[in-house]
Amino acid sequence: MKKKIMVIVIVVIIVIILFYFKSRKLNSLYAGNISDIEQVSIVSGGTGDIAVVRNAEDIERLVQYFGEYKLQPDYFYSDSKTGWSYGIKFEWENKQTFITCIDTNRVKVDNKVYKVKNGDSMENSLKELFDELSE
């Protein structure tokens, strides 16, 4: 009986660890179709300036680009600082998803914090894209 309980406890611990370390792509957090997105806005948290994209081809390119970032839930992040550097807002059918870059490789989506697990700094990517679109 003790062996069965030990095995069950070990299996539960393994499942919890695997769930914690599971990463998902950013685009999996958006449940709709890319073609439904009507507008993408990139906002500078420092200045409040906004760059807006409405062209369907550019929207698809942006969604695919940012969708490739792999995210891992950050359950232990303490929200000790306020503000954000850049945000990206996807809008469709009077709905929106706002992703804020709260530090170099950490984002907040719908009040959940995620670590970015691949690629360059998401903050730098958003800055470069914002600068390009603002010209």
User: Quick one: pLDDT at residue 46?
Assistant: 86
Whether the full predicted model's pTM is greater than 0.75, yes or no, is no
User: Quick one: pLDDT at residue 120?
Assistant: 63
User: Quick one: pLDDT at residue 21?
Assistant: 54
Q: Give the integer Cα–Cα distance in Å for 82 and 47.
A: 15
pLDDT in tens, the chain (135 residues): 777 777 677 766 666 655 555 666 665 655 566 678 888 888 888 888 888 888 888 887 777 777 777 888 887 777 666 678 888 888 888 888 888 888 777 888 877 888 887 766 777 777 877 787 776
User: Quick one: pLDDT at residue 80?
Assistant: 64
User: Quick one: pLDDT at residue 29?
Assistant: 58
Sheet of strand 95-103, all strands in order from the earlier edge strand to the far edge: 24-25, 70-73, 112-116, 106-109, 95-103, 86-92, 39-44, 50-53
